[in-house]
Amino acid sequence: MTHKTLARRRAAAAVVTAALLVPLLASCGGDDKDGKKGRGGDGKKDSTSSAKLTVLAAASLTDVFKTAGAAYEKAHPGTKITFSFAGSQELAAQVRQGAPADALVTADTKTMDGLRSDTGTPTVIAKNRLVIAVGEGNPKKVKDLKGLTDSALKVVLAAPEVPVGRYSKKILDAQKLTVKPVSQEPNVRAVLSKVELGEADAGLVYRTDAETATDKVDAVDIPDAQNAVASYPAATLKTSGNSAAAEAFVKWLASPEAQKILRDAGFQQP
């Protein structure tokens, strides 16, 4: 065999080998079109599969969101949610100050609307109504909103800049009732606490808050015609470092699973 013939055979073998390697390498390259397994089309890591989220949420969501968060984490292994609860006006201030967070849920649309430049498009995930929280057994015999005008009664309300405080003022003004509270609290849980501890005889809170303390307080219903409906919008924050995961969580809050958790806690449908 001449040297020329041997060279030609070696060249042909190299071509065949290269042709066989092309599909083999492609099959090992990953699951997406860019050949980068576990990454999105832009080559970035898929943050929905594993992420740490911080969610700013209205104080009235404290109990139900702990349950919802646990359910979400169970269904999404690798995701960890940390909640920060406060009055909606406090949460809004945190957002404006650039607090590191991924999503926001307020107890009113007014607060959320004031943050349009900082959030994604909000979705209302639940609604609520007010009740009069009184001591267990209703020792002061409070029957209705008019009863809160009794000067001998220690009434506590949320501050007017707080959503529940604004709702309280709205329903009292509509009935032309003047109530002089012994204190104005920064969030609904602080109002509830005053009644629980016996530091107040009555206070206006959300129905769901009263239901978290049935061993210490009773709830006096307010007729729908005299009541106010609180809406809870949820939205992602534009400064989120986990935008895909934050969006997934906000979307989940409107899912049948999350809605059942909210219904079980006494919240109304959006």
Tokens of 74: 């169970």
Residue matched to tokens 């190299």:
14
Q: For the chain, what is the domain count? A: 2
133 with 190, same domain: the answer is yes
Containing structural domain, residue 248: 51-127+231-264
Segment 34-59, tens digit of pLDDT: 333 333 333 334 445 679 999 999 99
82 with 121, same domain: the answer is yes
Going by C-alpha positions, the residue among 247, 220, 215, 240 that lies closest to residue 98 is 240
Query: Residue 62: phi, psi to the nearest 5?
Result: -50, -55
Cα gap 27→5, rounded to integer Å: 35
Tokens of 192: 């509830």
143 with 221, same domain: the answer is yes
Tokens of 158: 């949320």
Q: Looking at the predicted structure, is the pLDDT value of residue 3 above 50?
A: no
140 with 119, same domain: the answer is no
CA angle at 198 for the pair 195 and 199, rounded to the nearest 5°: 80
pLDDT confidence of residue 260: 98
Tell me the CB-side half-sphere exposure of residue 155, using CA atoms within 13 A.
Answer: 24
72 with 206, same domain: the answer is no
Q: Looking at the predicted structure, is the pLDDT value of residue 2 above 90?
A: no
Q: Looking at the predicted structure, is the pLDDT value of residue 189 above 90?
A: yes
Going by C-alpha positions, the residue among 170, 86, 164 that lies closest to residue 130 is 164
146 with 159, same domain: the answer is yes
Tokens of 131: 């009740």
Mean local confidence (pLDDT), 9-27: 41
* Rg of the chain taking only CA atoms, in angstroms: 28
Tell whether 269 is covered by a domain: no
Tell whether 246 is covered by a domain: yes
Please give the mean pLDDT across all residues of the chain.
87
pTM of the predicted model over 0.85: no
Range from 10-19, 30-39, 168-177, 192-201 carrying the lowest mean pLDDT: 30-39
Tell whether 69 is covered by a domain: yes
Q: Looking at the predicted structure, is the pLDDT value of residue 25 above 50?
A: no
Q: What is the CATH number of the domain that holds 165?
A: 3.40.190.10
pLDDT confidence of residue 50: 76
148 with 210, same domain: the answer is yes
221 with 134, same domain: the answer is yes
Segment 117-149, tens digit of pLDDT: 999 999 999 999 999 999 999 999 999 999 999
Tell whether 177 is covered by a domain: yes
3-state secondary structure of 68: helix
Q: Looking at the predicted structure, is the pLDDT value of residue 102 above 80?
A: yes
Tell whether 14 is covered by a domain: no
225 with 133, same domain: the answer is yes
Under a CB-based contact definition with an 8 Å cutoff, are residues 83 and 104 in contact? no
Cα gap 74→9, rounded to integer Å: 61
Segment 240-255, tens digit of pLDDT: 999 999 999 999 999 9
Cα gap 81→242, rounded to integer Å: 12
pLDDT confidence of residue 23: 40
Mean local confidence (pLDDT), 183-207: 97
